[in-house]
Structure formats: C-alpha cells, structure tokens
Chain A
Amino acid sequence: MKKILIVCGIIFSFSTIEASEVSEWFEKESSQFLEIINNNEGTESENYERYKYFVNKNFAVKSIAYGLIGENIINKSSKSELSIYLSAFTDYLIKTIYKLANTSTSSLITLIDVDVKDNIYIIKSEISDRKTSANLYWKVIDTGSSYKIIDVIVENTSYFVTKKSEFNKILRKNRGSLEALTKEIRKI
C-alpha cells in the first residue's frame, strides 16, 4: 500500500512539474503575443514579420496543415505539391491571426487551468478587453525541445475543426486537388 502511494506521489509530482512548465511557457508567450497585438508602431510589413516569427515559433504548422487535408490527400500528392501547400498555409495562418488581432483590442490573457489528455495539454485561458471577455482554449503538444500549439478554441469554436470543414469542401469541389486548395487559400 505504501509503495502504491509512493508511486502515485511520484506520478502526481511529475504531472504537476509538467503542468507548471507548460503554464510558464504559456504565460511568457501569451504576454509576448499581447505585446505584438498592441504594438502598432512599426510599418505593416514589420508587424507582419513579428506575427510570422510568433507563428513559426509557437504553432505546429505542419501538423495543422497536414491534419486539415487528411492522410488520403497527403498520400496522393507529390512532395513539391505538399511543400507549396505548406508554405501557402503558413502564410494563410499568419494572415488570419494578423487580421483577427488587428480587429481586436485585447489587453489581457489570463491563465485559468491546465489539463492533460492523451499527451495534449489543454490550456484554459480568458481573453479580455475593457468591454468583454471570452474563453480561450489552447491545445498544446510537447515536442521535446519546445511546446507547440495544435489548435485554438475561442469560446466553443475550434480553429482546426472549422478550417477542416472549409478545406474539405474545397477539396471535394475540386476532386481532391491540393493544387486547387492551395490556389484558393492564396486568394485570401
């Protein structure tokens, strides 16, 4: 019985350390994100570069991009097609975040809770400005060297699920052509 309690204690302390590490990472990156949002002093291209750096550093872009098109499309596409798509998607993701951030005046992101399920950290936070607040969930993985975001859920709307249904629609309309999807996302 004593041994079981010791083992449980060790497991619990490990998960607490991991949760506190991810919390620390989150606090640091979210404050950096707010700094980027609220800093409008630079030129448009300078601001864009800041977003680009932030997205490349903190998002699991390849996993999200590939997850959105699914295994079937990945398997039937050539390496160059996938590489062009990945580059277009990265640009698309940066632009989406850039656009959303430019229409918001958020002043605070507060960490509320960290949960772990199937090796994915679910970070619950609240984003607020003077008028309103919204629940913001981040699904994060530990790659060994850093933490990477795989999904962002605003209130109950998941970026991954929403984009997956949009991309599926485009792919179905174009008989699974990755080239057509790439063209479509470049238009935005």
Chain B
Amino acid sequence: MIKHLKVILLIISVTFFQTTPSYANEEVSVSGISYDEIYDPIEPINRAVLNFNFFIDDIAIRPIVKTYKFIAPEPVEKGVSNFFSNLKEPIRTISFIFQGEFSKSFNSIGRFTINSLTSLGTFDLASKIGMEKNETDFGITLAKGGVSSGPYIVIPIIGPSNLRDFSGDVVEYFVDPISNNVPNREYIAIGSGLNERVEIDEQLEKVRDASSDRYEMIKSIYYQNRNAQLEEEYIQNLPVPKIYIE
C-alpha cells in the first residue's frame, strides 16, 4: 500500500510541475525546442552535488571501471552490456504501451523473449534478425503525455536529470516486472548503474577538462540527448548560427 501511495504522490508532484516552464528564457527556440536557458533554480546545490559526484567517481567508481575495462575482454564487456540492456526490455514494453506505440511494445517483448531464451540476454540475436532496439523510459512517457521537464537536478551518485525524468525513474523502480521479481534487486541496480558508467567512460574523460564550465556542458548534453529522444526531426531543427561573410 505504501509503495502505491508513493507512486501516487510522485504522479501528483509531476503533474504539479506541469505548470512550471522548462526554460526560463526562450531566446533560442526552434520548433518548440528551446536551448538557451534551462530551468535550473537550484543551481548552487546542483553544482555542489556534481562536484561530489566527480569526487566519488575519482576515488571509487573510476578505479573500478578502469580495472574492469582493463581486465574484461571486449566480448565480455559487450555481453554484460547486452545483459543489462535486455533486463530493461519489459519496462520498455510497458512504457511503449503507455505511449500508444504498440508495435514498438511488441518488438521490445519479442526482443526480450528471443534474447533471454537464446543467451540469457548476453547476445543481441534479435537485432541480427531485424528487431532493432528502441530506447525509451517512463520519463519519455511522461514527456509525451505533456508533462514538462521541471527543474534540472543533479542526483547524488546517479548524475544529471530533471524532475520529470527522475520521477519516471522512480516509477520504473516500482513497476519494473524484472526488478520486482528477483531477490536482491539492489545488486541489479548497482550492476546496471556501473555498466552505464562503463559505457560513457570515454565521453566522461573528454568532458572532464574539455570545457570552461563542465557543469553547464553536462547539463546541455543531457537536455540535447533527451530532446533527441522526443523530437522526430531533432537534428534538422537544432538552431544554427546566422551566416556572416568570412
């Protein structure tokens, strides 16, 4: 009961934030996507959390990731990545149903069945036979339902998010048929989190010192990637500079 109450409270809080604009200043706006100013009312806290996350990453997570990448041969790394991705197919199936994307939903459950039965999800046979992976999550479902992103937040250990996407993550945690039906679900969550960290390792190394303001850079990259998942013609609609004679 308490579990369900939490979900309801969460949905109410998300609905409340529907009235909050995603962006405070819409200087650059193309086809409904605005890129100039992301709504970030708790920036000082977020900056502190990001610094904390980098600190934890430096002293604990990064050494684990580097050791893993050094030890694990490439096929093992790929297999582990496929395994965790496969565990997310059932929740993707549910998300697609809520989005009204029934063919994608069938595709997700089909992929889960094929990959689980043939290799416990470590090999993506489904893609080889034309059933490509479609990424989605509850944050996207909420966005497609008209919920705005709400304020940008950096979550300890986890990283960049916004109120809508974080709420989506929490809902997923409660309704995910896989993690709700396995003992020690925490291990799966930790494993999945570490796997995601391994996957972005190279990009993260570049972000560390490629910018005058890594906080601003990470925030921008996060929103661009989320918008790309929501917009059909995302690349075409990105703002471009006015042309000056060189």
Known: A131-B74, A156-B224. 10 other contacts (CB 8 A): A60-B241, A60-B243, A60-B246, A68-B241, A156-B234, A158-B224, A161-B224, A162-B224, A165-B217, A170-B212
> Count the A residues whose beta carbon is within 8 Å of the partner chain — how many?
44
- Which A residue sits closest to B227, measured CB to CB? A156
Q: Could you tell me which B residues sit within 8 Å of A by CB distance? A: 27-28, 35-38, 74, 205-206, 210-213, 216-217, 219-221, 224-225, 227-228, 234-236, 238-246
Contact B38 A165 (CB under 8 A): yes
A interface, over-half SS: helix
> Could you write out 27 A-B pairs with CB less than 8 Å apart?
A63-B244, A64-B241, A100-B210, A137-B235, A143-B246, A150-B240, A150-B241, A153-B238, A156-B225, A156-B227, A157-B220, A157-B224, A160-B241, A161-B220, A161-B224, A161-B238, A161-B239, A162-B221, A162-B224, A164-B36, A165-B216, A165-B220, A166-B216, A166-B217, A166-B220, A169-B213, A185-B212
Is A188 on the interface with B (CB-CB < 8 A)? yes
- Which A residue sits closest to B74, measured CB to CB? A131
Contact A62 B244 (CB under 8 A): yes
Contact B243 A153 (CB under 8 A): no
Contact B246 A63 (CB under 8 A): yes
Q: In whole angstroms, how far apart are the Cα atoms of A61 and B241 in the complex?
A: 10
Q: Could you tell me which A residues sit within 8 Å of B by CB distance? A: 60-64, 66-68, 70-71, 96, 99-100, 103, 115, 117, 120, 122, 131, 137, 139, 141, 143, 148, 150-151, 153, 155-158, 160-162, 164-166, 168-170, 184-185, 187-188
